[in-house]
A and B are shown apart, each in its own frame.
Chain A
């Protein structure tokens, strides 16, 4: 990240791509409503419900009841931690998503629940990300982000062994990769919906997040170093992995590899994804037979599209005016009564 040219274009991208949410930080990975097609949204809702439902079951079965306040308070911490940023250059700032940090400190299932709470509240209350597309956002940030972060952290920290810098280095690599892979998942969803061609979305999202991920990696490493110094008991030793956990971190690492391979493939063959997107546009397709039943119809009684829009505009204005009138009447009546 050197050179002012890179810096200023980064800043521009950051400003454009990363809408600054009410929480203060740029949130370039929260897809708003309207950007994903209904079929894609529904499919990712189903995946998210199944996986997060399983995570909830695991959390309530394995962990004692103490975990309810723990998970809730730490969800609030991750939410607040996303507001902390550091300046990189030229108005760009690095900030945190927190999926890897949560996964390393809490384990994958609890981290999934924490990230689910964070991403859901951002969508439901702060409009950081849409509601219909929440399933996809949960998939990217609470499932892919957590699993990849957890898997890669376990793999790298095992490879590094007991060295002193093993924790920050594996934290950095895991956090960086989790951001990039989550961004690739986001790009594939956009391409599947026909919102963004894969050959542009994949390299653009991947490239921007390869840079954003550096900030994520540095903050995650710094946070892990702090926790290791202050409460070493919280950075769980990696030795006590059971068979199930082993499968999980291998699965997380595999997910990273699959998405990393799939994305350039999709990017090289945008027609394939385009075709899927076309197939998925069944609503559009369903219109055609109806068109032949009711030919030359745009709006009931009016056979001109521009005219129909104007009529809709007039009707809309009347509706708003009527609402305003009724509210004004109500307020006046209440005022006279008092």
Chain B
């Protein structure tokens, strides 16, 4: 099921081999600790980022991989930009746009930068998790974490058909593009017309999906599906894995405490 869409990066590292349950708990806790850090806790930010980078090096992904993919959340920073001007504090610079006077404060810049860095660090941990854990293993971890079984089964079946429909969507797009020569502002009628065509494509995809799901259901019935979802029992965690988990949790808790107490 390898696909360009799949973010899993196969390597022979220790991190890849680690139990998905341990990895999911550690990743979620890292993100929680990052979010709980106060604004402007720069030493803690640096340490957490270093931990994330060390892990991506240990996972043989290279430092650049997660650093580059981490930029995905940056555009959202626009939402936090007003903080620069709305936070009271020492005025750093003034911006005048017509009748509007904007004062950028030092405290505001620090708040904005903190939000940005915290978001960046969180994404690092999320990328690390998905790049080193197969989705099927992630599903096992979700089951262990008591996520409703119906939801986990939907996730797993959805994953099975995700790449197929992504491919069908791409095929539809190629078909449209080859008919309308150039999907520019001057081609293919009005905006509303283009939107309707796209809507038709989505509707087409929907009907295909609906009919495929009927065939999938027939195939499942033929293989003995009776409405009950059966899954293999999960292997209990080894004591060494518990130790690793406890170690990671203690380190993260210490980092968080350090940040909260001392900034």
Chain A positions within 8 Å of B, measured between CB atoms, are: 1, 15-19, 21-23, 28, 30-38, 41, 53, 56, 59-60, 64-66, 68-77, 79-81, 83-90, 94, 96, 98, 101, 105, 113, 116-117, 120-121, 123-128, 130-132, 190, 195-197, 200-201, 204-205, 215, 218-227, 230-231, 234, 283-284, 286-287, 290, 294, 297-300, 305, 308-309, 311-313, 315-317, 319-320, 322-324, 326-327, 331
Q: Does B34 contact A (CB under 8 A)?
A: yes
Please tell me which one of the listed residues A89, A94, A226 contacts residue B203 in the complex, with CB atoms under 8 A apart: A226
Inter-chain CA distance A53–B43, complex, in Å, is: 40
Given known contacts A71-B154, A116-B151, A219-B202, what 17 new A-B pairs fall within 8 Å (CB)? Answer: A17-B78, A31-B76, A32-B73, A35-B79, A38-B35, A56-B148, A72-B154, A74-B209, A89-B191, A117-B151, A131-B122, A226-B206, A234-B207, A305-B43, A309-B42, A312-B50, A323-B54
Does any Cβ of A come within 8 Å of B246's Cβ?
Answer: no
* B-side interface size class: 35 or more
Cα distance A98–B199 in the bound complex, in angstroms: 11
A65 to B120, CA, bound (A): 42
Asked if A72 meets B158 with Cβ closer than 8 Å, knowing A86-B198, A226-B207, A234-B210, the reply is yes
The chain B residue sitting closest to A20, CB to CB, is B75
User: For residue A16, which residues in chain B have a CB less than 8 angstroms away from its CB?
Assistant: 75, 78
Residues of A within 8 A of B199 (CB): 218-226
Contact with A along B41-73 (1 / 0, CB 8 A): 011101101110111011010010000010011
Count CB-based A-B contacts (< 8 Å): 355
Docked pose: A315 CA to B263 CA in angstroms: 17
Instruction: Give Cα A41–Cα B31 distance, bound, in whole angstroms.
Output: 12
For B36, what are the chain A residues with a Cβ–Cβ distance below 8 Å? 38, 283
* B interface residue numbers (CB < 8 A to A): 5, 7, 13, 27-28, 31-32, 34-36, 38-39, 42-44, 46-47, 49-51, 53-55, 57-58, 60, 63, 69, 72-76, 78-80, 82-83, 86, 115-123, 126-127, 130, 135, 138, 148, 150-151, 153-162, 164-166, 168-170, 172-173, 183-185, 191-192, 194-210, 212-214, 216-217, 220, 225-227, 229, 258, 260-263
